[in-house]
Amino acid sequence: MKVDRAEILISCASPSQFPAAGPPEVAFLGRSNVGKSSLLNRLVHRKKLARTSSTPGKTRLVHFFELEGGNARLWFIDLPGYGWARVSRKERESWQRLVERYLERDSLCAAILLQDLRRDVSEDETLLLEWLAERNTHSLVALTKVDKLKPMRRAKRIRELKDAFGIDRERLFATSAQTGEGIDTLWRAIEVAAGMRRRTSR
């Protein structure tokens, strides 16, 4: 999708603020600092649509972004990151409630789980993928910050994470928000999931 217009629609602190269903929705999930805001910005060719920072954010908000290109409209949903050390049980539960309620939406056509290429897969990620599979939600995994490793090490790491996630290579994307690597390929998968294009080999 060639994005002509991208803007924030609403940031929701509770499910009651979620907008009524509109265009197809694609959601982004991942641990704090995984590179979610950077990837979102890269996908829509905006430097600052989603805020990026080197310090993990603390607010738990579900951000709805509206994208328009040609005749197509799509919503990108930025879900709050997880995985802070020392969060209270209450905070954890409120994160879970917000995210689970979002992921129940019928207008959701794909959830993209982000994973830092250099980190190991934790139970947070495997449980999320299982949960999505149980709900029949189409899920993809985007490995982030691949520019941080040299090609040989990178290829090995991609294989290791593919095995750790136990998913097909077709659902795994090696990306870099810095160099733009993997962005076109991920876009194609998003378009297929959103019914904007037919599946083709890549």
Ligand X SMILES: Nc1nc2c(ncn2[C@@H]2O[C@H](COP(=O)(O)OP(=O)(O)O)[C@@H](O)[C@H]2O)c(=O)[nH]1
Q: Which residues contact 183 (CB under 8 A, 6 or more apart)?
A: 42, 43, 175
| Cα 192 from Cα 188, distance rounded (Å) | 6
Q: Between 36 and 60, whose beta carbon lies closer to ligand X?
A: 36
Residue 159 one-letter amino acid: R
Angle between helices 123-134 and 89-103 (to 10 degrees): 30
Stretch that binds Mg ion, among 5-13, 31-39, 117-125, 134-142 (CB under 5 A): 31-39
Q: Does 37 bind Mg ion (CB under 5 A)?
A: yes
Contacts with ligand X in 44-73 (CB under 6 A)? 52-54, 56
Query: Is residue 152 classed exposed, middle or buried when 0-12, 13-18 and 19+ CB atoms within 10 A define those classes?
Result: exposed
Applying CB under 6 A, does 148 fall inside the site for ligand X?
Answer: yes
Residue 41 touches Mg ion, criterion: CB under 5 A? no
Query: Is residue 144 near ligand X by the rule CB under 6 A?
Result: yes
Closest CB 136 distance from ligand X, rounded Å: 26
Which residues of this protein are in contact with ligand X, per CB under 6 A?
30, 32-38, 52-54, 56, 81, 144-145, 147-148, 176-178
